Structure 1
């Protein structure tokens, strides 16, 4: 009896990458496994073997995106809020298709797909921890941590989404604009706004 084909992790990652690109380009309704397989240089058998089907593949894309994003946030956590903010933009600019799929809502609406809650929760965990630590140290004003974290996240998310959509005044320097915004976020949430200069220590 022939032994079943074993597909490696490199092919799995390639399929996830291709799926994100195709959904971002054509929309979730037009995603076809044969197109994914062809673009990845493999067969639909490989897709079914590794993921089980279209819905499972798309959910795996979302989980992989949130896991990668969470890794980048954890790596930046020691630098405080400003470092987390910088890492947020860096990751989004490096993975625009994934970012739009994760936060655009199109997959949830049209396909009923969503990331595993435990995986998605890891994405905001470093921000929650940074807000709580800033409050303990007296650098951030008191208040419910989840609400403050959500407000900060919403501000950086809006800026990054505008950058990826290329919606801005002519000649805008995105990097400089984002740095200015991080300064403003830091001042807004500082316990003593007049004595603070941004989201956290510059490194």
Structure 2
């Protein structure tokens, strides 16, 4: 007899939960996270509000699951780029990872904004979503483990070294992706890349580059190359 996830009842429940999430994503695609309404989703699916609450206890519960899914989707895009360029130089791989994340965000701006912004003024993402976010950053640690810290980043590296020493879970995460590296250097490089990547992607998704005469992908390549130079990563910039 089927049990657990294999029961018809559980399969039906999973199907309905997925339909609710798809309806929520469609809603956010037109109105952003602020437009998310469980009652509106229920009407779209021909359900009553109380029936929908059997699947998600609150709007925040639904948002949390969508955020987890978005991180997982972004992480998958980054992992695919990591696998495709595994034989390349660290510099080439860094460009590929950054480009893959940008392409994911541009194709799914409503998902990107779930991760980069605040879905609602009262929403607080639970601590467990940190693990989903770290899965996106992990491949960057692997590549930046090949780099060196440069003088301007030493202050950041020192802060991160102290943080890692008192945060075992974070130290274990860095070690999983960069076991032979100086952990603080790899993490400092990753945070710098992440900050610059988000700066460019956020502006692009908001349409702030429209009419400025350049492609966001070109600007991103310049920023990545600058970091690769600073960290003395081997290899050359891939052709545009």
Aligned twin of 2:202 = 161
Q: Match for residue 89 of structure 1?
A: 102
Are the equivalent residues in 1 in contact too, given 2:193–2:227 (CA < 8 A)?
no
* Alpha-carbon distance in 2 for matches of 1:6, 1:91: 29
The structure 1 segments of at least 4 consecutive aligned residues displaced by more than 4 Å after TM superposition are 3-6, 8-11
Cα distance per residue 1:135-162 (max 9 Å; x no partner):
2xxxx33362112111111111111111
Question: Which residue does 2:175 correspond to in 1?
Answer: none
Map 1:101-180; keep pairs closer than 5 Å: 101-107=114-120, 109-114=121-126, 116-132=129-145, 135=146, 140-142=147-149, 144-168=185-209, 170=211, 172-174=213-215, 177-180=216-219
Q: 1:66 maps to what in 2?
A: 71
Contact 2:82–2:96 (CA<8 Å) still a contact in 1? Answer: yes
Aligned length: 187
CA contact (8 A) 2:81 2:97 kept: yes
Q: After superposition, where does 1:162-201 map in structure 2 within 5 Å?
A: 162-168=203-209, 170=211, 172-174=213-215, 177-190=216-229, 191-192=231-232, 197-198=236-237, 201=238
Unaligned runs of 5+ in 1: none
Structure 2 unaligned regions, length at least 5: 1-7, 86-92, 150-156, 158-184
Instruction: Check the 8 A contact 2:21/2:62 in 1, yes or no.
Output: yes
> Scaled by the length of structure 2, what TM-score is found?
0.65
Matches of 2:111 and 2:51 in 1, distance apart? 22
Query: Which residue number in structure 2 is paired with residue 36 of structure 1?
Result: 41
Cα distance change on mapping 1:116 and 1:42 into 2, 3 Å: farther
Residues 20 and 101, structure 1, Cα contact 8 Å, conserved in 2: no
Q: 2:27: which partner in 1?
A: 22
Query: Within 2, Cα distance between the matches of 1:26 and 1:90?
Result: 19
Q: Is residue 32–residue 110 contact of structure 2 (8 Å, CA) maintained in 1?
A: no
SS in 2 for 1:110: coil
How much is the aligned-residue C-alpha RMSD, in angstroms?
3.0
Query: How much does 1:106 deviate?
Result: 3.6
What's 1:98 paired with? 111
